[in-house]
Amino acid sequence: MVHIPVLQKEVLEYLDPKPNENFIDATIGNAGHTLTILERNIPAGKVLGIDADPEIIKNTKYSIQNTVYKNRVILVCDNFANLKEIVKQEKFKSVQGILFDLGMSSWHLEESGRGFSFLKNESLDMRYNPRNPLTAARIVNYYSSQEIEKILKDYGEERFAKKIAQKIIEIRKIKPIETTSQLAEIVKSATPHWYHRKKIHPATRTFQAIRIAVNDELNNLERALPQTLEILKPGGRLVVISFHSLEDRIIKNFLKEKAKENILKILTKKPIKPSLGEIKINPRSRSAKLRAAQKGR
């Protein structure tokens, strides 16, 4: 599968990589953005690439090892919530820009087999890092109705959270909920028919909410953003691409707060969205929003 980096042109515009500058790609994924940065920060600029998924790191290491860039990339399997510690351990200094692309990689949806998609019948896992003890199956089979409802409401903004949670409890009394197909069917049976005719699949918000809960995504983002300010050089740039309103709200509020404190200068008055041309080529980019800021000099 060809990986298409989202908002690639805009990422380069706002990060503005120049020869010999160092950058951090906090969500390296398939290295699409990293490779374009490495084209610009020649001959000696480096990229520190981070990903929580050991399989992603292994795949990326393999794909980069035969390129001219291999000696200018440092790959670390860890969560970006530990950004400061990672930078310290790797002695990665003089950072001119940090990128977060918070989208799920195509590999996770299509090839990982971990139950991220309701369009495939897979076991309910949804972990980015297999060492994480919490799985989607654990949430749907062991959490209380109130806990499940809260997850669906808070992380999925699901209007039928209560009914879906009640249905999950009802079904799991009969048999364990082990697959994505089972969960998608439960959501369909708990929601009205008109809801099934909307643009997005009725299970979209439920799957999003459970995935966020499993991987603690919003808390990790809230922990990571303040660390960027300690790592970036004066004049360094922060670029963040989000894919749903919950992430975007956290980013927007953080940038506004730091702009008020004169720590950051916001470079994007409104979030940058993909063009119709990009959405046509890469439909998954349609909900992407890019925000950028520059640290004071």
CATH of the domain at 41: 3.40.50.150
Q: Check pLDDT > 50 for residue 290.
A: yes
The total number of structural domains in the chain stands at: 2
- The percentage of the chain sitting over the pLDDT mark of 90, rounded to a whole number, equals 92
Alpha-carbon Rg of the chain, whole angstroms?
Answer: 20
Assigned domain for 77 exists: yes
What integer pLDDT is reported at residue 3 of this predicted model? Answer: 60
What integer pLDDT is reported at residue 297 of this predicted model? Answer: 80
Task: Specify whether 59 is located in the same domain as 193.
Answer: no
Cβ-Cβ contacts under 8 Å for 279 (sequence gap 6 or more): 285, 286
What integer pLDDT is reported at residue 112 of this predicted model? Answer: 93
Strand order, beta sheet including 47-51: 73-77, 47-51, 22-25, 95-101, 232-242, 289-295, 264-266
Confidence of residue 163 (pLDDT cuts 50, 70, 90): very high
Assigned domain for 147 exists: yes
Domain that holds residue 46: 8-107+217-295
Q: What pLDDT digit, counting tens, does each position of 93-123 carry? A: 999 999 999 998 888 889 999 999 999 999 9
Q: What pLDDT digit, counting tens, does each position of 183-204 carry? A: 999 999 999 999 999 888 999 9
The predicted model gives 10-33 an average pLDDT of: 96
What integer pLDDT is reported at residue 150 of this predicted model? Answer: 98
Closest alpha carbon to 110 in 99, 101, 102, 120: 120
Q: Check pLDDT > 60 for residue 2.
A: no
Task: Specify whether 205 is located in the same domain as 120.
Answer: yes
Q: Pick 283 or 7 by higher pLDDT.
A: 7
Q: What pLDDT digit, counting tens, does each position of 222-268 carry? A: 999 999 999 999 999 999 999 999 999 999 999 999 999 999 999 99
Assigned domain for 1 exists: no
Task: Specify whether 140 is located in the same domain as 201.
Answer: yes
Assigned domain for 3 exists: no
Q: Check pLDDT > 90 for residue 284.
A: no
The predicted model gives 73-92 an average pLDDT of: 98
Distance CA 1, CA 4 (A): 9
What integer pLDDT is reported at residue 1 of this predicted model? Answer: 40
Q: At 187, which CATH number?
A: 1.10.150.170
**Residues constituting the chain:** 297
Q: What is the mean pLDDT of the chain?
A: 96
Task: Point out the domain boundary residue: 159, 194, 215.
Answer: 215
Which residue carries 């082990």 as its tokens?
178
Distance CA 235, CA 158 (A): 40
**Is the previous residue joined to 43 through a cis bond, with omega within 30 degrees of 0?**
yes
Q: Check pLDDT > 60 for residue 170.
A: yes
The SS3 call for residue 238 is strand
Which residue carries 């996770």 as its tokens?
108
Task: Specify whether 273 is located in the same domain as 183.
Answer: no
